[in-house]
Amino acid sequence: MAPAAPFNPPSADLPGKPFVPEWVPPPVTKEKHNFAELKSIDLSLLDSDDPAVVDDLVQQVKVAIRDDGFLFLENYGVSLEQLHRQFALAQYLYNNISEEDKERLLFHPDSGKWSGYKHPYGFKRHRGAPDGIEQFNWYKPDWEDINRVPTCLHPFMDEIEAFSNYLTKSVNRRLLTVLSRVLELPDDYLWDNVQSHGSPTGEGYFRHALFRPVQKQIQEASKGLRMHGHTDFGLTTLLFSVPISCLQIWGRDEQWYYVPYKPGALVINIGDTLEIVSGGHFKATRHRVFRPPADQLHEERLSLVLFNSSIGDLRMAPAKESKLIQREGCVEEQGVYKEFKKLTSQGKLVPTNRQWREIQIATCTDPTDTVNNRVGAHQVLIDGKVMHQREYMGVKVVLPDDEQHYVTFEQSQPSGSMSYPMPISAVRKHGHVIIKGRPCKIIDISKSGTSTHLVGNDIFTGSTLSDDFQSSQSVDIPNVTRCGYQLVNIDEGFLNLMSQDGTAKDDVKDPGGELGQTIQADFEDGKDLIITVISAMGEEQAVTYNEAPKGS
């Protein structure tokens, strides 16, 4: 395919444009623990004349999407200077928007759209508890009518619109080309048949967002949460990596991980639509916005996001033309595809894409909503874990809940055995499996004929184990839990810990080695530490730690 042209924005110095101060990225956290390791994809390789290079790119994306649903995208055509200009415009918006415009352009989420200005008082039009989050969202009508945009941004709409057009029609189109190839479909299949069109963002939207620090009582009420754990309801989401670490993803080991900062990179995640079209081969990414590490608690987080939506009138189904789906079938490992299939197998209509996204926006709740955020309302207990459960038009959505981060070891123990069976076809890299009697994290999966070879690292000893399994059989999956405890003391080789409810736990050994030494040093320095303990098959071990936020 022809090489993609780089972004060529309108000039920032045209007559009539006010001066815009530069955006200075805030300092990166010094915290090193509890961060995800995401694969980075070089999109410029799609332009290579060497078919082997392009094929390798497709395979890299295939692995990243199947394993994580999240990936970094680099070399996509926008320079760091051009990107910082867009952040400067977002900063200018929140420093200059008038109170009149805030009221005039106030959003109506009950309509099923985020269009307009979101006040920093929750996700309803009426004001609730202060959440410190301001947003402005551009949908198709907002691009078409300058009066639907804050007055202070009128001189810069040529730049903002050109940026959104480039992200949608160049960056996202090339990304969809790669994803079409992963599914072994024609290059433009997803762009022509699934992606919505008709504006700089199609039926989706572009967002400027600002997260300001919140007061202690709000942080306590929301348990540190800024936005509920969720999957995006659209096709793809393009989020620009920022220094303030708030975005977290849910790992296969059922642990929340911060997404690290990679200057200039796009963070890409897969939405519900693409999970369904792929027949479950792609997974919609479970993620949330959480309080940042302790050294960033008082920093503001500026964010730019493009949410790509699928065609609203379509009812999504797997792409039967996909040779990947024809060869391997569909995957019912998790989430929305499994629920959509359940409805269609009963002869029922699934929601249209428009219905699916609008009902979720209209019924969105706040992290401080104590009426709905409780067991018996929007929360359920599954295998001892607190999960967030909603049902939209007959489709049940169950996601790890915000309180999962705080559940104690005793609360989170599964009610059944220490393991459970799973078809080997559903096993994925970075997930857990029992190999030769030991709980392991999978580091490699290979197939040969009817045999599947699994390689994993023992989650306690780090030793590498491997075994071969017939592709038709099931494997045993260990029930693995990770729980956080406050460190009270270190005594005779054991950590004296305390759960959130005040229960003492004194049977976890000092991990020793470099980790044990750094825990000892920080504890002796008077730091308030939270120790993460991993438990499986009757064993447990301290695996990492972080400094507790001040005042928590």
Q: Give the pLDDT confidence of 361-399 residue by residue, as tens digits.
A: 999 988 888 787 776 677 776 655 667 778 887 887 877
pLDDT score recorded for residue 413: 35
Q: What is the mean pLDDT of the chain?
A: 89
Per DSSP, the three-state class of 193 is helix
* Region class of 265: left (phi > 0), else alpha (psi between -120 and 50), else beta: beta
Number of domains in the chain: 3
Assess whether pLDDT exceeds 80 at residue 252: no
pLDDT score recorded for residue 481: 83
Same domain, 268 and 258: yes
Same domain, 218 and 157: yes
Residues 6+ apart with CB under 8 A from 104: none
Same domain, 536 and 458: no
Assess whether pLDDT exceeds 90 at residue 440: yes
Assess whether pLDDT exceeds 90 at residue 198: yes
> In terms of pLDDT, which residue wins out, 485 or 171?
171
* Region class of 68: left (phi > 0), else alpha (psi between -120 and 50), else beta: alpha
Q: Please tell me the distance from the alpha carbon of residue 12 to that of residue 17, in angstroms, as a whole number.
A: 7
> In terms of pLDDT, which residue wins out, 404 or 12?
12
pLDDT digits (tens, 9 = 90+) for 505-521: 999 999 998 899 999 99
pLDDT score recorded for residue 111: 96
Q: Domain end: 339, 367, 386, which one?
A: 339
Q: Structure tokens of 402?
A: 């915000």
Assess whether pLDDT exceeds 60 at residue 108: yes
Q: Structure tokens of 352?
A: 């249209």
Q: Is residue 423 part of a domain?
A: yes
Q: Is residue 358 part of a domain?
A: no
We report the CATH number of the domain holding residue 487 as 2.40.50.140
Alpha carbon separation from 63 to 174, 178, 469 (Å, rounded)? 18, 12, 21
Same domain, 190 and 270: yes
Average pLDDT of span 42-67:
93
Same domain, 431 and 516: no
pLDDT digits (tens, 9 = 90+) for 141-195: 999 999 999 999 999 999 999 999 999 999 999 999 999 999 999 999 999 999 9
pLDDT score recorded for residue 197: 98
* pLDDT level of residue 228 (50, 70, 90 thresholds): confident
Assess whether pLDDT exceeds 70 at residue 261: yes
Assess whether pLDDT exceeds 90 at residue 547: no
We report the CATH number of the domain holding residue 154 as 2.60.120.330
Q: Is residue 350 part of a domain?
A: no
We report the CATH number of the domain holding residue 430 as 2.30.30.30
Same domain, 216 and 139: yes
pLDDT score recorded for residue 549: 61
pLDDT score recorded for residue 152: 98
> In terms of pLDDT, which residue wins out, 218 or 437?
437
Q: Domain end: 339, 374, 402, which one?
A: 339
Q: Is residue 226 part of a domain?
A: yes
Threshold 0.85, pTM exceeds:
no
Same domain, 307 and 424: no
Assess whether pLDDT exceeds 70 at residue 323: yes
Q: Is residue 345 part of a domain?
A: no
- How far from each other are the two terminal CA atoms of the chain, in whole angstroms? 54
pLDDT score recorded for residue 33: 77
Burial class (CB in 10 A: 0-12, 13-18, 19+), 102: middle
Same domain, 515 and 437: no
Same domain, 286 and 200: yes
Same domain, 444 and 500: no
> In terms of pLDDT, which residue wins out, 84 or 544?
84
pLDDT score recorded for residue 375: 66
Q: Please tell me the distance from the alpha carbon of residue 454 to that of residue 458, in angstroms, as a whole number.
A: 12
Q: Domain end: 339, 361, 376, which one?
A: 339
Cβ contact 142:203 at 8 Å: no
Average pLDDT of span 417-446:
86
Same domain, 261 and 188: yes
Q: Is residue 132 part of a domain?
A: yes
Same domain, 245 and 312: yes
pLDDT score recorded for residue 521: 92
Q: What angle do CA 486, 500, 246 make, to 5 degrees?
A: 75
Q: Structure tokens of 156?
A: 């810069």
% of the chain surpassing 70 pLDDT: 94
**Most confident segment among 100-114, 397-411, 486-500:** 100-114
Q: Please tell me the distance from the alpha carbon of residue 282 to that of residue 182, in angstroms, as a whole number.
A: 10
> In terms of pLDDT, which residue wins out, 432 or 429?
432
Domain assignment of residue 424, given as a range = 419-478
Q: Is residue 22 part of a domain?
A: no
Q: Is residue 287 part of a domain?
A: yes
% of the chain surpassing 90 pLDDT: 64
